[in-house]
Each structure stands twice: as C-alpha cells, then as structure tokens.
Amino acid sequence: MGKLKSLKRPKVFIPLAIVILIAAGLILTIRSLKAPAVGSIDQSPPTKAEVTDPYAQPGTFSGKYVSFKYPAHYKAVPSKISGSYLEVASYHSVDITGKQINVGVLRSSFDTESAISYRRQHKELYKENSSSLGLEFTKIDGTEDTFFIEHNGLLASVSATAPYYDQAGDAIFVASGLKWR
C-alpha cells in the first residue's frame, strides 16, 4: 500500500505545480502593468500660448442706412430683413448672459411707429425715459432697453435685451454711436 500512495502524489503534484506557476505568472503580469514605465521622456513645457479673445474689442457695423459700434464680447449673428425693415443687424453676447443687441431701420416716425405706441400704452411694462438721442424705453424688470432715433423719414430702433441682466449700458453704447449715412 505504501507504493500506491507514492504513485498518487506525483499525479496531484504536477497539476498543483502548474496552477501555482500560472497564478504566479498572472500576479507578475498584473504587477508589471501597475508599475511605472521604465525609461524617460524628455518633455519641455509648452510655450505659453497667448489666449486671444476675438471679441475682446468693440466691433463696427457699416450698412446702407446706419453705422455704429457695438460693445466688446458680442458677435454678429445672421438676421433677415422682414416686414417693413430696410436694414437689420443682430448680435449675441459670447458669454453666458444671453444678452442680445438688435438694430433695425425702417421708414417710420415717432408718431406712426406701432412699437412706440405699444410701449406708451403699457406703462405697467415700460418706462419712457428722457434722452437727447431720441426716445428711450426701458422694461420695468430691467431686461430690455430700447432707443428709437428718427432721421429724414427713417426710424432706427436699438434694442438690448437679456433674460436676467440690466441692459442700460449696451443699448446706449450703440445708440450714442449710431450715425446716419
């Protein structure tokens, strides 16, 4: 019987040795994957790239009827002429404020323009302000500032709007620099 036990041991020893070798191989492979790479990489720091904001300076619009400057951090967006407008220009802020500036020119006057009549009729929404530029209306909640400027049978409207921000500065910036052509 002693011989039978000695014959069975090699049969168990060989598979057990194979399992141990495979486990050791897996452990060494995993450790080598987690270890840092051997060698060196020469990397010089990148040259400091100058960050340029293409909208950091005020822009200029020059159309058939008017020209004006618009504030920095606005970009021109496509706009279509519709209704009785002769010329339109639209700008959106490039930041997260959602501010917009819209300028339109049409044949009209202070007395006949429906947008002016509407604002005058809805005093609960709009306040008419005195301005040397023409007529100015600000929305009571501060989300709109609109100028109407009359010249030789034409009327320009300059409107600055945003959902949550006071617009007084942007509209007057455009309106004060508006020049008739």
Condensed to tens digits (0 to 9), the pLDDT of residues 65-96 reads: 999 999 999 999 999 999 999 999 999 999 88
Query: Is the model more confident about 40 or about 68?
Result: 68
Q: Which amino acid is at 65?
A: Y
CA distance 99 to 96: 8
Please give the Cα distance from 166 to 33 (Å, whole number). 58
Give the length of the chain: 181
CA distance 102 to 90: 5
Q: For the segment 47-65, what is each residue's pLDDT rounded down to a tens digit?
A: 776 677 889 999 999 999 9
Residue among 75, 44, 40, 84 nearest 57 (CA): 75
Q: Say how far apart CA 144 and CA 132 lie, in whole Å.
A: 19
69 versus 130: which is more confidently predicted? 69
Query: Residue 41 pLDDT > 60, yes or no?
Result: yes
Give the CB-side neighbour count of residue 56, counting CA atoms within 13 A.
4
Q: What is the pTM of this model?
A: 0.71
pLDDT for 25 equals 87
Segments making up each domain of the chain, as ranges? 1-36, 59-180
H helical segments located in the chain: 2-34, 114-121, 168-177
Q: What pLDDT score does 10 carry?
A: 60
| Dist CA 88 CA 103 (whole Å) | 6
Q: What is the pLDDT of residue 176?
A: 96
The CATH architecture assigned to 59-180 reads 3-Layer(aba) Sandwich (3.40)
